[in-house]
Copies of this chain bind each other. A is one copy, B any other.
Amino acid sequence: MENDAGHEIAEALGVLLKRTTRARLYQGLTDGLGEGVDELTYPVLSGLARSGPRSAAELAPEIGLDRSGVTRRATRLEEAGLVRREPDPDDARASLLVLTSRGEETVDVLRERLAGHINAALSDWEPQEVAVFARQLREFVMRGPFRAADEDDGTR
């Protein structure tokens, strides 16, 4: 069945995921950004930048990890000075993860690098083609079949 788009998408995703498993996001994406930040800690940074200060437990399902995993990664970022732990003003036992100024700078750099690599790879596409693809991919990811089991619908 050659013209079955589902198979084609599945195949492409398979290759993509295998690659990103190893060369996680991009070779040397986090070079020169200090010790704490790597492919593992980046999702924490990105999540915090997207949603503002949050607790580790609240961040966990979004990253697809246990709370303990987020705690460890956040600790690494804390030691690197990119994340700060603040007591939740509403709940003294909860501690909020907050990006420091250096953390915000770092995530900005990472985002810029990522977008740059992607735009460069798509430089020979038609601009409207790229725009369409971006919207479709976003839609596919949001409504597609890859939703985690215990994930809220993103409306916050």
Contact = CB atoms under 8 A, between A and B. Distances in A.
The A contact surface, by secondary structure, is helix
Interface stretch (A71-79, A80-88, A94-102, A113-121): A113-121
Interface string A13-35: 11111111111111100000000
A18 B120 CA distance: 23
A92 interface: no
A6 B136 contact: no
Contacts of A120: 145
B145 A6 contact: no
A114 B3 contact: no
Contacts of A118: 5-6, 9-10, 144-145
A116 B17 CA distance: 19
A109 interface: no
A147 B19 CA distance: 7
A146 B16 contact: yes
24 contacts: A3-B131, A5-B118, A5-B131, A6-B114, A6-B115, A8-B135, A8-B137, A9-B133, A10-B111, A10-B118, A12-B134, A12-B138, A14-B25, A14-B43, A14-B46, A17-B17, A17-B20, A17-B25, A23-B148, A121-B140, A121-B143, A121-B145, A129-B136, A132-B136
